[in-house]
Structure 1
Amino acid sequence: MKKVGILLFILGAAAIGYGFLILAAASGTKFFAIWFLIGAFIIWAGYMTNGNHWHAVPPVVRIALAVLVTAAVVIVAAGTACIMTHFHDRAPDGLDEIIVLGAQVRESGPSRVLRSRLNAAAAYLAENPDTVCIVSGGQGPNEPCTEAEAMKEYLVQKGIPENQILEEDKSTTTVENLEFSSRFLNRKEDSVGIVTNNFHVFRSLKLAKKYGYRNCRGIAAGSTPLYLPNNILRECLGIVKEVMWGNF
């Protein structure tokens, strides 16, 4: 049992260390805190195991903890499996429009996550000059301008003509991205590509179909492998939220 306890201590410390890594990345959200909670729980479990303290915990509490941990593992495993079904999506040529979903903008410009989306969009638009590009994203409290403005500027610098780009600059969530962008297109008839990072494509397409996009395809942009566990875990919780809210 002591070996198990030591292993749990190591895993818990690794989770907390990873949380600090995500914090240092300045992602613009406070999701990094979940890694501190996970790490603290694993270290506590290691302490309980190493000191053989579990017998002092009432059986009903032990059962409840086992159920919660099992449920968490199942949710993450199922969510990850769903995410992977659209992880490498590529859209056909000749789409009527593509929508580039917004993400964090900093004083220096689009964040790494957003640059990945914009680079994927630029590559598609360069090969499909008749496709209209809708850049979608409002301005958060810690952003110097609207995401749409920064996105358009970045694409223009990449050689995409200004008249090929439309700005939707009010949205703050993925649902709003899709809702507000729809004023530039026909949800029932147009072929639409949703450009976002690979871990986010599954949920984005589900939401698009929920909100009336009849012919939508994913265009998966890359993501940084180091931050992928954090992004996938966050996305799994996002999927659970959408299921609870009836969006799937």
Structure 2
Amino acid sequence: MGVRVLGAAVTAALLLAASTATAIWWIARQDARPASDAIVVLGSAQYNGVPSSIFEARLEHARELYDEGVAPVIVTVGGKATGDTFTEAEAGRDYLAQNGVPEDALLAVPEGVDTLESVRAVAAEFADRDWNSAVLVSDPWHAMRAERMAEDAGLDAASSPTRQGPAVQTRTTQLRYILRETAAYLLYRATGESVAGAPGIG
């Protein structure tokens, strides 16, 4: 009986992981662009104020959405690592300002060392401004977890992932990100916590 129970538990865990990975893959292929209060760009690495290639791809996609009239404001979010001069939010805001987005259409929220902290900080800013709806911009594989966290924080969230950048360059890279996100999503659903400090999946 014990072996059967163990086997059933392992099978159930594998099925859960497989179904989650499939859902991440499916949502990564969607692109929702409803008219919203703001476009929210989730932060990624920056180097002395210069966005990394992953972050730049997200920012360029957000600029495209802004130009299409999806929302009147782009919100950049993300704190900084020890020793950094700039936050991710500041680097993102400055990049967009230098590339044609009016300064009064930009809001930097310089908080958050992981996705969960970032979306909670954004939700607080939204509440202060009586905003509710957001289009989230991140990498495709990050979309499902980011959207779930944003909804749990009280936002009416949709996702419009970027299709450019290192996260989508090769199938091997895509598979690695899907596996990481599967683990991160299941951890969040089980514990309500994020995985700060884990490269690529915070």
Number of the residue aligned with 2:23: 82
Matches within 5 A, 1:164-203: 164-186=105-127, 190-203=132-145
Instruction: Choose the corresponding residue for 1:204, options 146, 161, 176.
Output: 146
Displacement of 1:201: 0.6
Instruction: Choose the corresponding residue for 1:234, options 166, 180, 196.
Output: 180
Distance 1:113 1:183 in 2: 26
Displacement of 1:96: 1.1
RMSD value over aligned CA atoms? 2.9
Map Cα deviations across residues 153-182 of structure 1 (whole Å, 9 max, x no partner): 111122111110111102111111111112
Matches within 5 A, 1:1-248: 73-107=14-48, 109-128=50-69, 131-141=72-82, 143-186=84-127, 190-213=132-155, 215-222=156-163, 223-226=167-170, 227-246=173-192
Rg comparison, structure with higher value: 1
Letter in 2 for 1:78: S
- Determine if contact 2:31/2:161 at 8 Å carries over to the other structure: yes
Map Cα deviations across residues 7-60 of structure 1 (whole Å, 9 max, x no partner): xxxxxxxxxxxxxxxxxxxxxxxxxxxxxxxxxxxxxxxxxxxxxxxxxxxxx9
Distance 1:109 1:71 in 2: 44
- Determine if contact 1:191/1:216 at 8 Å carries over to the other structure: yes
Distance 2:63 2:75 in 1: 12
Letter in 2 for 1:90: D
TM-score by length of 1: 0.65
Percentage of pairs with the same residue: 25
Which structure dedicates a bigger proportion of its chain to helix? 1
- Determine if contact 1:132/1:166 at 8 Å carries over to the other structure: yes
Q: Which has the higher contact order (CA 8 A, sep 6+)?
A: 2
Letter in 1 for 2:177: N
Structure 1 residues 189 and 106, CA gap change in structure 2 (3 angstroms): closer
TM-score by length of 2: 0.78
- Determine if contact 2:123/2:153 at 8 Å carries over to the other structure: no
Give secondary structure in 2 for the equivalent of 1:221: coil
Letter in 2 for 1:148: A
Letter in 1 for 2:146: S
> How many residue pairs were aligned?
185
- Determine if contact 1:137/1:147 at 8 Å carries over to the other structure: yes
Displacement of 1:195: 1.1
- Determine if contact 2:137/2:162 at 8 Å carries over to the other structure: yes
Displacement of 1:246: 4.0
Distance 1:150 1:134 in 2: 12
- Determine if contact 2:48/2:85 at 8 Å carries over to the other structure: yes
Give secondary structure in 2 for the equivalent of 1:103: coil
Give secondary structure in 2 for the equivalent of 1:82: helix
Map Cα deviations across residues 109-142 of structure 1 (whole Å, 9 max, x no partner): 2122211211110100112285211100000136
Structure 1 residues 93 and 68, CA gap change in structure 2 (3 angstroms): closer
